[in-house]
Amino acid sequence: MTAFKKVAVSIPAETYRSLEKARGQLGKTRSEVVAVAVKEWLRGLEAGEASRRYVDGYLRLPERAAADDVAITAAATADWSTWEPGPASRASEPKPRRRKR
């Protein structure tokens, strides 16, 4: 069985009204909604810390493309011709309005 602790908090009146509206639509108690919100906030903090550690590690030791990958890509695309753009599309131009009969 999960143990619970009571917490008293003060929030702005507008936030309280939004909370009451949302929980009413969801059919949840105030405690359920606040508990989920706090849990998601904590999860976001953990994810932010994990992302920060990843970026720090990448900056210390960035990934490099393997020479084989570059050679394979060059060989696979060697016979591709260069591409030149054609005339602009008229798809974005407004269509003429038809008269009602």
* Geometric angle at alpha carbon 41, from 40 and 47, rounded to 5°: 85
Distance from C-alpha of 87 to C-alpha of 63, rounded to nearest angstrom: 40
Four-residue CA torsion sign, 50, 51, 52, 54: positive
Overall average pLDDT of the 59-85 stretch? 81
Residue 39, domain member (yes or no): yes
Residue 6, domain member (yes or no): no
Overall average pLDDT of the 40-62 stretch? 84
Residue 4, domain member (yes or no): no
Residue 83, domain member (yes or no): no
End-to-end CA distance of the chain: 73
Q: Name the pLDDT band for 62 (thresholds 50, 70, 90).
A: confident
What are the residue ranges of helices labelled H in 3-99? Answer: 13-26, 30-60, 67-77
Q: Name the pLDDT band for 48 (thresholds 50, 70, 90).
A: confident
pLDDT > 70 fraction of the chain, expressed in percent and rounded? 98
List the structure tokens of 14. 């507008």
Domain of residue 29 covers 13-61
Distance from C-alpha of 19 to C-alpha of 76, rounded to nearest angstrom: 57
Residue 9: predicted pLDDT: 92
pTM for this model (two decimals): 0.49
Q: Name the pLDDT band for 100 (thresholds 50, 70, 90).
A: confident
Q: Name the pLDDT band for 58 (thresholds 50, 70, 90).
A: confident
Residue 89, domain member (yes or no): no
Is the model's pLDDT at 63 over the cut of 80?
Answer: no
**Residue 101, amino acid:** R
Residue 80, domain member (yes or no): no
Residue 98, domain member (yes or no): no
Distance from C-alpha of 59 to C-alpha of 61, rounded to nearest angstrom: 6
Residue 55, domain member (yes or no): yes
